[in-house]
Chains A and B, each alone.
Chain A
Amino acid sequence: MSEKATVSITVNGKVHEEEVEPRLLLVHFLREHLGLTGTHVGCDTSQCGACTVHIDGASAKSCTVFAAQADGSEVTTIEGVGSQDNLHPMQEGFWEEHGLQCGYCTPGMIMSAINLLNENPKPTEKEIREGIAGNLCRCTGYQHIVKAVQYAAEKGVVR
Chain B
Amino acid sequence: MTAAERPILPKLVGERIKRREDPRLITGHATYVDDLKLPGLLHLAFKRSDSAHGVIKNIDTSAAEQMPGVELVMTGKQLAEILGPMPIGTPFPSPDHYAIATDRVRYVGEPVAVVVAADRYLARDAADAIEVDIEELPAVVDPEKAMQGEPAAVHEGFENNLAVPYVPGGTGVDPATMEVDNSALDKAFAEADVNISQRMTNQRLAPNAMEPRGVVAHWEPGKEQITIWSGTQNPHILKTMIAAQLGVGQHQVRAIAPEVGGGFGCKINIYGEEYTAAAISRKLGAPVKWIEDRSEAFMATTHGRDILAYVDLAAKRDGTVTALKLRLIADVGAYNMLLTAAVPTLTMLMLNGTYDIPVVRAELTEVFTNKTPTDAYRGAGRPEATYFVERAFDMLAHELGMDPADVRRKNFIKKDAFPYTTQMGAIYDSGDYETALDRALQNAGWEQLKQERDQARAEGRIVGLGLAYYVEVCGLGPSASLPTGGWEHAGVTIERDGRITATTGSSPHGQGNETTFAQMLAEQFGVAFDDVTILHGDTGVVKQGIGTFGSRSQAVGGTVLMNAGEKVKKKMAKFAAAMLDANEDDLVFENGMISVKGSPGSGKTFAEVASFAYVPVPLPPGVEPGLSDEAFWEPENNTYPFGCHIVMMEIDRETGEPRLTKVVAVDDAGTIINPMIVDGQIHGGLAQGIGQAMIEEVVYDEDGQLVTGSFMDYAIPRADDLPWFEMDNTVTTTPVNPMGAKGVGEAGTLGSTPAVVNAAVDALSPFGVKHVDMMLRPEKLWRLMQGGGA
**C-alpha gap A87/B717 in the complex (Å):** 29
Q: Beta-carbon contacts of B218-257 to A below 8 Å, as 1s and 0s?
A: 0000000000000000000000000000000000000000
B654 in contact (CB, < 8 A): no
| Contact A138 B22, beta carbon cutoff 8 Å | no
Given contacts A21-B121, A129-B719, A141-B722, contact A103 B21 (CB under 8 A): yes
| Contact B210 A48, beta carbon cutoff 8 Å | yes
Q: Which one of B26, B27, B30, B32 has the greatest number of beta carbons of chain A within 10 Å?
A: B26
Q: Beta-carbon contacts of B260-272 to A below 8 Å, as 1s and 0s?
A: 1110100000000
Given contacts A37-B34, A48-B711, contact A138 B26 (CB under 8 A): no
Chain B contact surface mostly: loop
- Which residues of chain A are within 8 angstroms of B23 by Cβ–Cβ distance? 84, 95
B725 in contact (CB, < 8 A): yes
| Contact B262 A138, beta carbon cutoff 8 Å | yes
Select which of B34, B259, B264 is within 8 A of A41 by beta carbon: B34
Q: Beta-carbon contacts of B776-787 to A below 8 Å, as 1s and 0s?
A: 000000000000
Question: How big is the B interface, by class?
Answer: 35 or more
B332 in contact (CB, < 8 A): no
| Contact B30 A103, beta carbon cutoff 8 Å | yes
> Shortest beta-carbon distance, A125 to chain B, in Å?
7
Q: Beta-carbon contacts of A41-60 to B below 8 Å, as 1s and 0s?
A: 11111011010000000000
Question: What is the number of residues of chain A that contact chain B, defined by CB distance less than 8 Å?
Answer: 60
- Which residues of chain B are within 8 angstroms of A77 by Cβ–Cβ distance? 28
> Shortest beta-carbon distance, A47 to chain B, in Å?
4
Q: Beta-carbon contacts of B511-524 to A below 8 Å, as 1s and 0s?
A: 11000000000000
A128 in contact (CB, < 8 A): yes
| Contact A42 B680, beta carbon cutoff 8 Å | no
- Which residues of chain B are within 8 angstroms of A135 by Cβ–Cβ distance? 719
Residue of A nearest to B727 (CB): A143
Q: Beta-carbon contacts of B1-43 to A below 8 Å, as 1s and 0s?
A: 0000000000000000011011111111111101101000000
A19 in contact (CB, < 8 A): no
Interface residues of A in 140-159 (CB under 8 A from B): 140-146
**C-alpha gap A36/B31 in the complex (Å):** 11
B282 in contact (CB, < 8 A): no
| Contact A91 B27, beta carbon cutoff 8 Å | yes
A4 in contact (CB, < 8 A): no
**C-alpha gap A48/B711 in the complex (Å):** 8
> Shortest beta-carbon distance, B359 to chain A, in Å?
37
**Which of B90-98, B161-169, B442-450, B683-691 lines the interface with chain A?**
B683-691
> Shortest beta-carbon distance, A103 to chain B, in Å?
3
> Shortest beta-carbon distance, B547 to chain A, in Å?
15
| Contact B719 A132, beta carbon cutoff 8 Å | yes
| Contact A101 B510, beta carbon cutoff 8 Å | yes
Given contacts A136-B718, A141-B722, contact A102 B261 (CB under 8 A): yes
**C-alpha gap A82/B687 in the complex (Å):** 30
- Which residues of chain A are within 8 angstroms of B688 by Cβ–Cβ distance? 138
A67 in contact (CB, < 8 A): no
| Contact A100 B711, beta carbon cutoff 8 Å | no
Given contacts A45-B710, A45-B711, A83-B27, contact A125 B724 (CB under 8 A): yes
**C-alpha gap A1/B67 in the complex (Å):** 11
Residue of B nearest to A46 (CB): B711
Given contacts A48-B294, A84-B27, A87-B26, contact A40 B722 (CB under 8 A): no
**C-alpha gap A37/B31 in the complex (Å):** 8
Residue of B nearest to A134 (CB): B718
> Shortest beta-carbon distance, A25 to chain B, in Å?
10
| Contact A40 B718, beta carbon cutoff 8 Å | no
**C-alpha gap A37/B24 in the complex (Å):** 12
Residue of A nearest to B297 (CB): A43
Residue of B nearest to A125 (CB): B724
**C-alpha gap A47/B715 in the complex (Å):** 10
B295 in contact (CB, < 8 A): yes
Given contacts A101-B512, A101-B680, contact A43 B711 (CB under 8 A): yes
A119 in contact (CB, < 8 A): no
Interface residues of B in 527-575 (CB under 8 A from A): none
| Contact A104 B22, beta carbon cutoff 8 Å | no
Given contacts A104-B261, A110-B26, A133-B718, contact A139 B510 (CB under 8 A): yes
**C-alpha gap A42/B209 in the complex (Å):** 9
- Which residues of chain A are within 8 angstroms of B211 by Cβ–Cβ distance? 40, 42, 102, 104
> Shortest beta-carbon distance, B669 to chain A, in Å?
16
> Shortest beta-carbon distance, B712 to chain A, in Å?
5
Residue of B nearest to A42 (CB): B210
A105 in contact (CB, < 8 A): yes
> Shortest beta-carbon distance, A65 to chain B, in Å?
16
| Contact B29 A38, beta carbon cutoff 8 Å | yes
Q: Beta-carbon contacts of B370-386 to A below 8 Å, as 1s and 0s?
A: 00000000000000000
B707 in contact (CB, < 8 A): no
Q: Beta-carbon contacts of A21-35 to B below 8 Å, as 1s and 0s?
A: 101100000010001
A17 in contact (CB, < 8 A): no
> Shortest beta-carbon distance, B19 to chain A, in Å?
7
| Contact B209 A138, beta carbon cutoff 8 Å | yes
| Contact A128 B719, beta carbon cutoff 8 Å | yes
B212 in contact (CB, < 8 A): yes
- Which residues of chain B are within 8 angstroms of A143 by Cβ–Cβ distance? 683, 722, 724-725
> Shortest beta-carbon distance, B548 to chain A, in Å?
12
**C-alpha gap A39/B720 in the complex (Å):** 23
| Contact A98 B680, beta carbon cutoff 8 Å | yes
Given contacts A77-B28, A102-B261, A136-B718, contact A50 B684 (CB under 8 A): no
| Contact B26 A36, beta carbon cutoff 8 Å | no
Residue of A nearest to B259 (CB): A103
| Contact B30 A98, beta carbon cutoff 8 Å | no
| Contact A142 B710, beta carbon cutoff 8 Å | no
Q: Which one of A41, A44, A103 has the greatest number of beta carbons of chain B within 10 Å?
A: A103
- Which residues of chain A are within 8 angstroms of B262 by Cβ–Cβ distance? 101-102, 104, 138-139
- Which residues of chain A are within 8 angstroms of B28 by Cβ–Cβ distance? 36-39, 77-79, 107
> Shortest beta-carbon distance, B344 to chain A, in Å?
24
**C-alpha gap A35/B26 in the complex (Å):** 17
Q: Beta-carbon contacts of B426-458 to A below 8 Å, as 1s and 0s?
A: 000000000000000000000000000000000
Residue of B nearest to A106 (CB): B25
| Contact A138 B719, beta carbon cutoff 8 Å | no
> Shortest beta-carbon distance, B559 to chain A, in Å?
22
B180 in contact (CB, < 8 A): no
- Which residues of chain A are within 8 angstroms of B190 by Cβ–Cβ distance? none
Residue of A nearest to B676 (CB): A98
Given contacts A101-B510, A107-B28, contact A23 B121 (CB under 8 A): yes
Q: Which one of B22, B27, B685 has the greatest number of beta carbons of chain A within 10 Å?
A: B27
Residues of A within 8 A of B (CB): 1, 21, 23-24, 31, 35-45, 47-48, 50, 77-79, 81-84, 87, 91, 94-96, 98, 100-107, 110, 125-126, 128-130, 132-133, 135-146
> Shortest 5 CB-CB distances between A and B: which pairs?
A38-B28, A104-B261, A103-B25, A102-B510, A141-B683
Residues of B within 8 A of A (CB): 18-19, 21-32, 34-35, 37, 68, 121, 208-212, 259-262, 264, 293-295, 509-512, 676-677, 679-681, 683-688, 710-712, 716-720, 722, 724-725, 748
- Interchain Cβ contacts under 8 Å between A and B, 28 examples: A21-B121, A37-B28, A37-B32, A37-B34, A38-B29, A40-B34, A44-B295, A44-B710, A79-B27, A84-B24, A84-B29, A87-B27, A98-B19, A103-B22, A103-B24, A103-B259, A103-B510, A104-B211, A107-B28, A129-B720, A138-B210, A138-B688, A141-B680, A141-B685, A141-B687, A143-B683, A144-B679, A146-B719
Instruction: Kindly list 4 other residue pairs between chains A and B, CB separation below 8 angstroms, not including A45-B710, A91-B27, A101-B511.
Output: A102-B260, A130-B719, A132-B719, A138-B208
